[in-house]
Structures are given as C-alpha cells and as structure tokens.
Amino acid sequence: MNNKVLIVVGDASETMDTLYPVYRLQEAGFVPVIAAPEKRKYQMVLHEVKPGWTITKEWEGYSIDADVAFAEVQPEDYVGIFFSGGRAPEYIRYDEDLVAITKHFFATEKPICSVCHGVEIPAYAGCVEGRRMATVPKCQFDLEVCGGVFVNEACVVDGNLVSGRTYHDHGHYIGKWIELLEAARG
C-alpha cells in the first residue's frame, strides 16, 4: 500500500496552507513528505489581507524541515502531491526537478491538490491547459495565461485535480482530495 504524499514547499510557503493538509493526511493514515529545493529548514509565513488593505500582509510563521530535495524525489513512490501557497511557488516553479515531478503527477493522473499561489507551479509546468481550478484571485492571470480556467469557488474538482482559493477554503477542498488519495492507494 502506497501511503506517501508529497507536500511541495519553499521559503515563504504559507503556514496554514502547509500544516493543515499535513495533519489531515496523518489523520487519514498517509505519510506526508515535505519536498523542497534542498533538504533543510524553511521559513513559512502567514498571509492575510487586513481590513482597509488592498494587498496581502505577511508575517513570519513556523518553520518546517524538508524531508527530501526535489532532485531526490522518485515521483512513482508517491500516491499524490500537494502544492502549498504563499510566495514560495513564485520562486520554486522554475526548478527543473519540480517541473518534472509535477508533469509526472498530471501524466499519471494521481491525486493532485493546489491552494492559493500553488497554482503557479503546475501552470509554469504546462499542466493546466483546459483544467478548471480555484486559486486566489490575484493568481487568476497566471492560471489563465497558461490555458487554465479560473473558478472562484471554495472547492473545485476537475478529475484528479482538487483546488481551493486560500486557507479559508481548507475545510471545503482538503477532504475531497483525501477521498481521491484513499481510492488511489487501494
């Protein structure tokens, strides 16, 4: 039985976007594996649009240790993948190993989940053409310019792909993704 699930992070990954799915996966009997550019400690952040603000305010959140570097990941060893939000995806999406990992999960139709800025990774990897996805509205352009379809809803399921807009949506979409993971592990 394959129980390992990749959680993609980097410096400035959103704390809630990362830790909520990690703990939900553990509760469901999966082993979340934190994957990042290098095997080291990463600083996560907290994001919120404060009342009266028109842009996102950012604070330091918890830190998290990467279990594996992207270059070491054997994607066939994992049942699914999660693209966390925050600012990290904007920077790590160019990593060639991460692009290859992302393409594997889309090509093999394994359960994939994305929240907020996480969409920037599969968009850059060329995997969103014709796919319906939720993301934070400020990433709508990133999705649409790469051929994806923006849906402003708390949970969007498009085949093996599940997505939400921000951490406020976690209770709506994470459960749907875990259902796909449970079916995939057999």
Query: Mean pLDDT of all residues in the chain?
Result: 96
9-17: average pLDDT: 97
R_g of the chain computed on alpha carbons: 15
Predicted TM-score of the model (pTM): 0.96
Domain boundaries, the chain: 4-185
17-34: average pLDDT: 98
Write down the pLDDT at residue 1: 65
* Tens digits of residue pLDDT in 62-87: 999 999 999 999 999 999 999 999 99
CA distance readout (Å), 165 to 107, 115, 162: 24, 6, 11
Judged by DSSP in three states, 135 sits in: coil
> CATH classification of 4-185, choosing from 3.40.50.880, 3.40.640.10, 2.60.40.10, 2.30.110.10?
3.40.50.880
What whole-number percentage of the chain has pLDDT above 70?
99
User: How far apart are alpha carbons 49 and 39 in whole angstroms?
Assistant: 31
CA angle 12, 59, 114 (to 5 degrees): 40
Strand partners, 4: 31
Say yes or no to pLDDT of 120 above 80. yes
